[in-house]
Amino acid sequence: MLEIREVSKVFQSRGRTVQALDGVDLVIRPGTFGLLGPNGSGKTTLMRILATLLQPTQGTVIFDGFDIHQHPQRLRARLGYLPQESGFYPTLTPVQFLRYLADAAGYHPPDLDAEIGRLLEQVNLAEHAHRPIRTLSGGMRRRLGVAQALLGQPDLIIVDEPTAGLDPEERQRLRRLIVDIAGQGRTVIVSTHITEDVESTCREVAVLLEGRIAYAGSTEALRGSVEGRVWELVGVEEDTLRRIKDQPQVLGYRPGRVGFTVRMLNDGVPDIPCVERIQVTPTLEDAYVALRQQHACRQRDATSDVKAEYHLAR
Ligand SMILES: Nc1ncnc2c1ncn2[C@@H]1O[C@H](COP(=O)(O)OP(=O)(O)OP(=O)(O)O)[C@@H](O)[C@H]1O
């Protein structure tokens, strides 16, 4: 079990203070766990802290009973990390690359070649095992990244933006791979801004917004938080769309057969002129967008309260 206790991280950059994480509290159990958040919300900072590549400004992280920053080597011996951008040696083959990494990490089990063979089999790269990495596609390289994260049989695996830049088929393949590798009592943390990555791989999720946890719990409960409140309005005219599109309850819109189809959050039947109003089953994306919009509204209210206090004080 991984316990993240009151973790904060402050960066000082060119005279500016950036609070990347602010009192993050999470318990992560074996299985797949999604960390969802928009760009700049602090996901990579948290992943790098969990991988002991970065020290928190405050707080502790406990893995299986020990503090990972007091015993980074103990953690690293059990950790597999797939960073957002993995570096490869383009002239090496996957087999040579994995042997090289094992060597660099001082990992010399007697059956290393067999382990590498099994890993390449598992990530479906066995038939490309002896091709130079520079000739592999983006998806194949990503899968090689997963193989390197699994080298040494770690029981905590962190993958940062696993499907970034992949085509739909490779994305599906990688998602299935993530589910498979978590099935062996391991903890796999998937950090992403893509809700489908979480929806198709994780039972538990935390949403990080501006360095704070805005939700932690099951993906099912997050989706359920907007159950019965998501509507599709068919045939919305352009003028109406222009009037409503920036309202916080509008989740999205797209051109329809007639006018536009607007997806929105509403407690009852929406009172917006259109051809048809259909109550739809929410997706995780709907719940995530709703959560972000609530957060943005709260931030706006807090800012206007501060401004009002400032004017009153004057
Ligand atoms: N080394 C650093 N120095 C200064 N600021 C930093 C540093 N690393 C991250 N930040 C800032 O901390 C905040 C969180 O960044 P982080 O990379 O963790 O977010 P993220 O959720 O991973 O974003 P993305 O999805 O774009 O990778 C951002 O405001 C970022 O600019």
Q: For residue 264, give the CATH number of its domain.
A: 3.30.70
Task: Using most ligand atoms within 8 A of CB, pick from 35, 41, 163, 207 the residue to mutate for ligand 1.
Answer: 41
> How far from chain centre, in Å, is Cα 127?
30
Which domain does 295 fall in, by range?
Answer: 226-302
CA distances (Å), origin 51, targets 46, 55, 84, 141, 157: 9, 10, 13, 21, 9
Whether this prediction's pTM lies above 0.95 is answered by no
Q: Are residues 25 and 135 in the same domain?
A: yes
> Does residue 233 sit in the same domain as residue 174?
no
What ipTM was assigned to the predicted interfaces of this complex?
0.96
The predicted pLDDT at position 219 comes to 95
Three-state DSSP at 94 gives helix
In this structure, the answer to whether residues 155 and 266 fall within a common structural domain is no
Ligand 1 atom with the smallest distance to the CA of 46 is 18
Domain end position, chosen among 223, 252, 282: 223
Ligand 1 center from residue 295 Cα (angstroms): 19
Q: Give yes or no for a contact between 50 and 191, defined as CB atoms under 8 angstroms apart.
A: no
* 12: β partners: 17
Instruction: Determine the pLDDT at residue 310.
Output: 57
**Does residue 313 lie in a domain region?**
no
Give residue 154's pLDDT.
92
Which ligand 1 atom is the nearest neighbour of the CA of 41? 21
Q: Which residues of the chain have pLDDT under 50?
A: none
Q: Pick left, alpha or beta for residue 104 (phi over 0 → left; psi -120 to 50 → alpha; otherwise beta).
A: alpha
Q: Based on the number of CB atoms within 10 Å of its own CB, is 236 exposed (0-12), middle (13-18) or buried (19 or more)?
A: buried
Residue 314 lies in a domain: no
Distance 42 CA to ligand 1 centre (A): 6
Nearest-5° Cα angle at 8, 19 to 200: 95
Q: What pLDDT, on a 0 to 100 scale, did the predictor assign at position 304? A: 66
Asked whether residue 194 is assigned to any structural domain, the reply reads yes
Domain count, the chain: 2
Whole-angstrom CA distances from 303 to 77, 296, 309 are 46, 11, 10
- For residue 16, the ligand 1 atom closest to its alpha carbon is 4
Q: Are residues 280 and 190 in the same domain?
A: no
- 158 shares its domain with 291: no
Looking up residue 19, the CATH number of its domain turns out to be 3.40.50.300
Residues 6+ apart with CB under 8 A from 178: 32, 146, 159, 162, 188, 190, 201
Cα–Cα distance between 169 and 162 in angstroms, integer? 14
Distances (CA, A) of 274 to 161, 204, 281, 284: 38, 37, 20, 25
One domain for residues 122 and 218: yes
Let me know whether 55 and 148 are in one domain: yes
Question: Is 200 touching ligand 1 by the criterion CB < 6 Å?
Answer: no
Measured from the Cα of 12, ligand 1's closest atom is 4
